[in-house]
Amino acid sequence: MAMRSAAKHALVTPPLAPGISGALFRGRFSPRNPGARPCRAASSSPAPAAGKHLPPLFSVAPMMDWTDNHYRTLARLISRHAWLYTEMVVAETIVHQKDNLDRFLAFPEDQHPIVLQIGGSNLENLAKATKLANAYSYDEINLNCGCPSGKVAGHGCFGARLMLDPEFVGDAMSAIAANCDVPVSVKCRIGVDDHDSYEELCEFVDKVVSKSPTRHFIIHARKALLNGLSPAENRKVPPLKYEYYFALLRDFPQVKFTLNGGITTIDEVSLSIRQGANGVMVGRAAYNKYVL
């Protein structure tokens, strides 16, 4: 269904809210630079609508070693409504530390709404970890498909590398969803290495949506380069391509997408929402500046 809708939009310029004068997306996604072409490559499997679960309008990104319990407590004092994401917790850590889970999973009640981000590539462990985490009443469970770190991507196939295996991510999200009582989401890049076409991104989303109940994706709008760049460089060297994000909004109307990457002020957050974004996630700026 998503793809049929894409075909309908074949010659339509991607949406830009009228009258927006801000510069965030200018030049990257305009009538003269339509960017991503509508996707027709993937299957036309029916996708139920996102349902009652609306993605957060504003969220703070998962950041390893940064968005720990201490930071999240401070962030909750600053904002009552922002959704807070945990640092990534590896599924194997949860499974192997099941007698010590509070250390990795407990959080104060007032940190709601809060999302647990899990990392992993073993279906059984992802399922077991989710089941154990379910007892902690997170508001959403998210799978990391965006981390380019050698430590993650090189040892076991997970993080951004998972984007190269959409079939597996579909199965993983199905297993995660089957073991928790809350909505599930995927955080990913727009591509990996040379697999960076808009069509490949559509195939990824389409496969995950058709194989699992996932209806929320967080799109870090730059690709990951798995070899040769440090994680920090991977957050600034590959160019941001917001046009991919807006094309996904157009081509998958039943799915909700949160925009992430390079957004540093509240004006940019507002502009993104006015231009149609379902939600905006801020990472480094929320940590470094506290007040946007």
Ligand X SMILES: Cc1cc2nc3c(=O)[nH]c(=O)nc-3n(C[C@H](O)[C@H](O)[C@H](O)COP(=O)(O)O)c2cc1C
Least distance from ligand X to the Cβ atom of residue 81, Å: 18
Instruction: Work out whether 88 is an interface residue with ligand X (CB under 6 A).
Output: yes
* SS3 sequence of the chain: CHHHHHHHCCCCCCCCCCCCCCCCCCCCCECCECCCCCCCCCCCCCCCCCCCCCCCCEEECCCCCCCCHHHHHHHHHHCCCCEEEEEEEEHHHHHHCCCCHHHHHCCCHHHCCEEEEEECCCHHHHHHHHHHHHCCCCCEEEEEECCCCHHHHCCCCCHHHHHHCHHHHHHHHHHHHHCCCCCEEEEECCCECCECCHHHHHHHHHHHHHHCCCCEEEEECCCECCCCCCCCHHHCCCCCCHHHHHHHHHHCCCCEEEEECCCCCHHHHHHHHHCCCCEEEECHHHHHCCCC
Task: Return the number of the residue (38 or 148) whose C-beta is nearest ligand X.
Answer: 148
Q: Which stretch binds ligand X (CB under 6 A): 25-33, 63-71, 97-105, 131-139?
A: 63-71
Closest CA to 182 of 119, 137, 129: 137
Choose, by CB under 6 A, the member of 9, 37, 131, 284 that binds ligand X. 284
> Alpha-carbon distance 40 to 250, whole Å?
12
Question: Residue 47 or residue 187: which is nearer to ligand X going by CB?
Answer: 187
The span of 38-46, 165-173, 199-207, 259-267 binding ligand X (CB under 6 A) equals 259-267
Among 64, 202, 247, 259, binds ligand X (CB under 6 A): 64
Give the distance between the most distant pair of CA atoms in the chain: 58
- The distance of closest approach from Cβ of residue 120 to ligand X in the complex, given in angstroms and rounded to an integer, is 12
User: Does residue 66 interact with ligand X by CB under 6 A?
Assistant: yes
Q: Report the nearest approach of ligand X to the CB of residue 217 (Å).
A: 12
For residues 239 and 263, is the Cβ–Cβ distance under 8 A?
A: no
Instruction: Determine, following the binding rule CB under 6 A, whether residue 59 of this chain makes contact with ligand X.
Output: no
Query: What x-and-dash track marks residues 7-36 binding ligand X by CB under 6 A?
Result: ------------------------------
Tokens of 274: 């006015």
Which of these ranges, 35-43, 59-67, 72-80, 271-279, lies near ligand X under the rule CB under 6 A?
59-67
Work out how close the CB of 236 gets to ligand X at its nearest, in angstroms, rounded to a whole number: 8
Q: Which of 262, 269, 272, 278 binds ligand X (CB under 6 A)?
A: 262
144 binds ligand X (CB under 6 A): yes
Catalytic, 202? Answer no
| Residue 172 interacting with ligand X (CB under 6 A) | no
Residue of 240, 251, 254 lying closest to 25 (CA atoms): 240
Provide the annotated binding site for FMN.
62-64, 117, 187, 220, 260-262, 283-284
Spell out, one character per residue from 193 to 222, where the chain touches ligand X: x when CB under 6 A holds, - when not: ---------------------------x--
Residue 55 binds to ligand X (criterion: CB under 6 A): no
Q: HSE (CB half, 13 Å, CA atoms) of 150? A: 6
Residue among 87, 200, 206, 268 that touches ligand X (CB under 6 A):
87
Among 63, 127, 201, 219, binds ligand X (CB under 6 A): 63
Chain residues in the site for ligand X (CB under 6 A):
61-64, 66, 87-88, 117, 144, 146-147, 187, 220, 235, 260-263, 282-285
Active-site positions read 147
